[in-house]
């Protein structure tokens, strides 16, 4: 046991040294960030990964883990193109200090920039479309939006078979389903939902903020929402041991989501989800931005990790 813990400390120390040597670590107001530059994978192109440890992280205590997409946007606005952030560390730090959620580890996975949509669009619903419908999606934005073949199944394999085992080996985690969660916004919300459906034995809860049901930027003649609903009808995980959170705003890109979220809600009810394990909320006046997700991130976090939660 001592050797195992010692090896973990060596791995963390090496990562911390590389952080300071290359200056890649996002700054946080509480806790500690360990930054892994170009985390390699046999499934997807290498990408940066940030591991946030809560204040007072102890090697003799185990922690639940929240995996989050679009990791660059989570902690430090100074490294973001739009100078916005979720402030994940600040929000979690306050909730932990107030005793409203359990101490947890957050793993922020940076997206692949130009291949983000190709890695986040659920693959099986896409493959259920006709060839003509698939060609339509690939042609969106003059081939710039979906710049590569849609391979979100490989992205999830990276999370489940490479990144999660690394995190569980390197840190003190509660590695079971009940303590493993996944979250994201927009396309990150869509891939979070897909992840809990594809790997229900790995993820016990998903938070899907501003879920981008359309996959691209219009609902007109768009086959993706219908394909997603059909997929959910047969692939939603059991309501007995999973939690799912949805939300959406009413401005900018979020104006597209209400009718599709209502369709998804009907399927959730059909599959036995209730207020105990499912939330959908609309935020009037909220737009599609990190600032908006920052303002309400405490709600899904308390739902998934809370010591107590009232809807």
Q: What is the CATH number of the domain that holds 223?
A: 3.40.50.1820
Closest C-alpha to 300, from 178, 206, 163: 206
Helix (H, G, I), strand (E, B) or coil at 166: helix
Reported as half-sphere exposure (CB side, CA atoms, 13 A), residue 26 has a value of 34
Look at the block and give the residue holding tokens 């400390």. 9
Report if residue 289 sits inside a domain: yes
Q: Cβ contacts of residue 98 below 8 Å, gap of 6+? A: none
pLDDT greater than 60 at residue 263: yes
Burial 57-67 (b: 16+ CB within 10 A, else e): beeeeebbbbb
Segment 220-238 shows an average pLDDT of: 97
Q: How much is the CA Rg of the chain, to the nearest whole Å?
A: 19
Please report whether residue 135 resides in a domain. yes
Structure letter (DSSP) for residue 189 = H
Chain position carrying tokens 């130009």: 114
Sign of CA dihedral 193, 195, 197, 200: negative
In the three-class reduction of DSSP (H, G, I as helix; E, B as strand; rest coil), residue 8 is classed as helix
pLDDT above 50: residue 250: yes
Across-strand partners of 213?
none
Residue 181, classed as helix, strand or coil, is strand
Per the domain annotation, does 20 fall within a domain? yes
| pLDDT over threshold 90, residue 221 | yes
Q: Which distant-in-sequence residues (6+ apart) come within 8 Å of 150 by Cβ?
A: 118, 121, 123, 126, 137
pLDDT digit string, tens, across residues 81-111: 677 789 999 999 999 999 999 999 999 999 9
Q: Give pLDDT, residue 267.
A: 98
SS (H, E, C) 115-155: HHHHHHCCHHHHHCCCHHHHHHHHCCCCCCCCCCCCCHHHH
Expressed as residue numbers, the domain containing 221 is 2-305
Q: Cβ neighbours of residue 75 under 8 Å, at least 6 residues apart?
A: 26, 27, 28, 33, 50, 52, 85, 86, 87, 88, 89, 108
- Nearby residues of 20 by Cβ (< 8 Å), 6 or more positions away: none
The answer to the question of residue 310 being in a domain is: no
pLDDT confidence bin for 8, thresholds 50/70/90 = low
Q: Supply the DSSP string of 28-65, one letter for each residue.
A: -SSSEEEEEEEE--SSS--EEEEEEE-TT--TTS-B-E
The structural domain count of the chain equals 1
Distance of alpha carbon 81 from alpha carbon 78, whole angstroms:
8
Q: For residue 311, is it within any domain?
A: no
Q: How far is Cα of residue 16 from the mean position of the Cα atoms in its chain?
A: 24
Instruction: Please give the share of the chain, as a percent, with pLDDT higher than 90.
Output: 81
Amino acid 99: pLDDT: 97
Tokens of 241: 């041991």
Nearest-angstrom CA–CA distance, 85 and 97: 21
| pLDDT tens track for 105-142 | 999 999 987 889 999 999 999 999 999 999 999 988 65
In three-state secondary structure terms, 104 is coil
User: According to the model, what pLDDT value does residue 169 have?
Assistant: 97
Question: What is the pLDDT, as a whole number, of residue 82?
Answer: 76
pLDDT-wise least confident of 12-21, 116-125, 191-200: 12-21
Q: Is the pLDDT assigned to residue 230 strictly greater than 50? A: yes
Percentage of residues of the chain with pLDDT beyond 70? 89
What whole-number distance in Å separates Cα of residue 171 and Cα of residue 217?
Answer: 39
Q: What is the pLDDT of residues 17-51, one digit of tens each?
A: 444 334 468 999 999 999 999 999 999 999 999 99
Query: Could you tell me the two tokens for 95?
Result: 């909730």
Lowest mean pLDDT among 94-98, 174-178, 251-255, 304-308: 304-308
17 vs 260 pLDDT, higher one? 260
The confidence band for 1, taking pLDDT boundaries of 50, 70 and 90, is: very low
pLDDT of residue 310: 45
* pLDDT tens per residue, range 148-178: 899 999 999 999 999 999 999 999 999 999 9
Is residue 79 in some structural domain? yes
Report how far residue 173's alpha carbon sits from residue 179's, in angstroms, rounded to the nearest whole number.
9
Would you say residue 210 lies in a domain?
yes
DSSP state of 67: E
Q: What's the pTM?
A: 0.91
Q: What is the pLDDT of residues 264-284, one digit of tens each?
A: 999 999 999 999 999 999 999
């Amino acid at each position: 046991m001592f050797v195992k813990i010692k090896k973990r400390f060596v791995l963390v120390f090496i990562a911390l040294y590389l952080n300071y040597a290359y200056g890649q670590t996002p700054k946080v107001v509480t806790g500690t960030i360990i930054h892994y530059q170009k985390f390699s994978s046999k499934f997807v192109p290498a990408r940066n990964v940030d591991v946030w440890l809560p204040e007072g992280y102890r090697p003799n205590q185990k922690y639940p883990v929240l995996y989050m997409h679009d990791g660059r946007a989570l902690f430090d606005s100074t490294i973001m193109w739009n100078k916005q952030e979720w402030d994940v560390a600040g929000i979690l730090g306050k909730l932990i200090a107030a005793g409203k959620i359990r101490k947890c580890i957050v793993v922020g996975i940076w997206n692949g920039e130009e291949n983000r949509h190709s890695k986040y669009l659920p693959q099986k619903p896409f493959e259920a479309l006709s060839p003509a419908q698939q060609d339509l999606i690939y042609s969106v934005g003059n081939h710039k939006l979906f710049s590569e073949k849609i391979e979100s199944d490989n992205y999830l394999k990276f999370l489940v078979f490479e990144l999660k085992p690394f995190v569980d080996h390197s840190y003190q985690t509660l590695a079971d389903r009940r303590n493993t969660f996944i979250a994201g916004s927009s396309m990150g919300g869509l891939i979070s939902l897909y992840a809990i459906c594809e790997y229900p034995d790995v993820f016990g809860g998903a938070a899907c903020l501003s879920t981008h049901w359309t996959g691209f930027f219009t609902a007109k003649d768009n086959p993706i929402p219908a394909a997603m609903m059909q997929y959910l009808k047969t692939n939603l995980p059991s309501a007995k041991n999973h939690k799912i959170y949805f939300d959406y705003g009413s401005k900018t890109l979020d104006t597209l989501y209400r009718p599709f979220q209502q369709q998804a809600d009907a399927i959730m009810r059909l599959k036995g989800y209730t207020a105990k394990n499912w939330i959908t909320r609309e935020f009037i006046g909220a737009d599609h931005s990190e600032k908006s997700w920052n303002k309400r991130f405490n709600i899904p976090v308390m739902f998934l990790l809370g010591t107590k939660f009232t809807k």
